[in-house]
Amino acid sequence: MPDLPDRVAPDRAASPKPHAGARPAADAPVALGVVGVLLPHRHAPPWQSNGLRWVAGLLLGVLFTWLSARSWPLDDLFGGTLTVGLDGRGAWTLLLRRAEHGGVLWSVRLTHVAAYLVLLFAIHWLRVLRWRPLLQPYEDVRVSVLNRVGAVGFMAVFLLPLRLGELARPLMLARSTGIGFGTGLGTIAIERVMDGLTVTLLLFAALIQVHPETLSRNPEVRVGAWVAFAVFTMALGGLAAMLVARDWTLRTTRAVLTPLSTKVAEKVAALAEAFVDGLVVLKSPWHLVQFVALTVVYWGVNGLGVWLLARGFEVHMPVIAGYAMMACIVVGMMIPNSPGNVGSFWYFLLLPAGLYGVRADAPRTVAFALAVWLLQTLQVSTFGAWGWWADARSRDDDDAEGDAPDAEEDGADEADDTEQRGNPDRLPENLKLPRIL
């Protein structure tokens, strides 16, 4: 492993995992002080409720569902009888037939569905493993820990409204390892920005294949691509500036917030310092190359999966169209999402369909879009439920190990308390995750 950048604090790079009997610090951790407003835990007061965020997310879902479904032939989508049989090529197929004369409204080959599920499994592991290079400058986190943290985090991002789920991974990581919440959040920021730039470049590549006249009749995709490229490029520049001008960033944070509250200013500055610590991987070429390589493979498999499932629905389009649809979903997620990405997911997926000669309101096309969303929802929910169970079991095992009274362990408790007070970004081991689901 290459030498760590100078900015990584040694105590954070090599912090041991807190043991099961650790007591909370005297002062509330900065992660709770700042993030508690967004993700209230079970003892939060009523004014910290997530109710307004859920209402806003549901309204967004209604809006995008209306924008999508207003041109859908609903009778041809759901008004028939589902059957399973062999098609003309001898492949097992799920078909929706009209009740009157038995005509096929849409069909999908089950082999393609199975292949897509296999790709979703591979996508999950690529998504887990590509996070590891971003964390290695601080701690070599076990893959098993990354898997269960990632499974719950990916589920939270997909199901929770307004991108609230992005906080789940750094919260769980801070509870399971020596990597603080702010540092973990910094690595998530790098991940999101690099994802945005990667898929935006893929979208530009996909639009090159489109005839200029066709593109001029559908300007929203190209405009969205340029807006996304500008936003993610500025975001990357902002992260780099925070890393280079670290001291100035912290001084400015304190100067702006101190007139309001010295305590809040110190807490936010501590979180900002930890966040910038999460960006130092940008100074480590070896870790960055690993992350970028896995990111390219990750999105490559994603786009291939979309195209493969489209073929299963007999939606005939070039491979590049699958990447355009995938990229539009990601660019569309710049808008705060609805719970479960209902509405927005299939709206943005079908947005570039017309560029490749695909009717966005055809029954088989709409069924394909809904199937992509449904299969991804089932995958992240199943893996997330497993991750939640595995995390709870791991914590129960740790608690059982920490129950035995031991004078040496009592001394370790005091040491942990001192360390916690010196590093407010560390979460206490007995912290319960907020009720976000």
- pLDDT (tens digit per residue) in 200-235: 999 999 999 898 888 888 899 999 999 999 999 999
Q: Which of 139, 121, 134, 108 is nearest to 190 (CA)?
A: 134
Q: Average model confidence (pLDDT) for the chain? A: 81
Using alpha carbons, select from 146, 145, 144, 166 the residue that is nearest to residue 155: 166
Grouping H, G, I as helix, E, B as strand and the rest as coil, residue 425 is coil
Establish if 284 belongs to a structural domain. Answer: yes
Helix (H) or strand (E) holding 80: strand 80-86
In a domain, 429, yes or no: no
**Quick one: tokens of 178?**
């020596």
Bridge-based pairing state of the strands 80-86 and 92-98: antiparallel
Query: Does residue 241 lie within any of the structural domains?
Result: yes
Average pLDDT on 316-345 reads 91
- Specify if 80 maps to a domain: no
Q: CA geometry: angle at 47 spanning 42 and 50, to 5°?
A: 65
Across residues 78-95, what is the average pLDDT? Answer: 83
What average pLDDT score do residues 175-182 get?
91
- Cα 412 to Cα 144: distance, rounded to the nearest angstrom: 26
Please list the residues that pair with 97 across neighbouring strands: 81, 104
Average pLDDT over residues 375-397: 91
Q: Which secondary structure element, helix H or strand E, spans residue 250, and what is its range?
A: helix 246-257
Residues of the chain above pLDDT 70, percent:
78
For tokens 């493979």, name the residue.
297
* Residue 62: inside a domain: yes
**Is 2 a member of any domain?**
no
Question: In which domain, by residue range, is 195 found?
Answer: 10-71+111-422
What token pair was written down for 401? Answer: 């190990």
* Per-residue confidence (pLDDT) for residue 188, from 0 to 100: 95
For the cut 50, the answer to whether the pLDDT of residue 403 exceeds it is yes
Q: 177: left (phi > 0), else alpha (psi -120 to 50), else beta?
A: beta
The predicted structure's pLDDT at residue 102? 65
Confidence bin at 103 (pLDDT 50/70/90) = confident
Under DSSP, the state recorded for 39 is S
Distance in angstroms (rounded) separating the CA atoms of residues 197 and 204: 11
Question: Which among 18, 41, 48 has a CA at the least distance from the CA of 409?
Answer: 18
Contact 355, 221 (CB under 8 A): yes
The pTM (predicted TM-score) of the whole model is 0.80
Tell me how far apart the alpha carbons of residues 231 and 307 are, in angstroms, rounded to a whole number.
27
Q: Specify the number of domains making up the chain.
A: 1
Name the strand (E) or helix (H) holding 411.
helix 407-422
Residue that wins the pLDDT comparison between 90 and 273: 273
Instruction: Find tokens 């479904």 and name the residue.
Output: 69
- Cα first-last separation, the chain: 38
d(CA 34, CA 268): 7
How would you label 41-72 residue by residue, b for 16+ Cβ within 10 Å and e otherwise? Answer: eeeeeeeeebeebbeebeebbeebbeebeeeb
What is the pLDDT, as a whole number, of residue 193?
94
pLDDT over 90 percentage in the chain: 52
20 assigned to some structural domain: yes
Q: How far apart are CA 341 and CA 160, in angstroms?
A: 8
Q: How far apart are CA 384 and CA 363, in angstroms?
A: 31
Instruction: Give the pLDDT score at 48.
Output: 45
Does some domain include residue 363? yes
Using pLDDT thresholds of 50, 70 and 90, give the confidence band for residue 373: very high
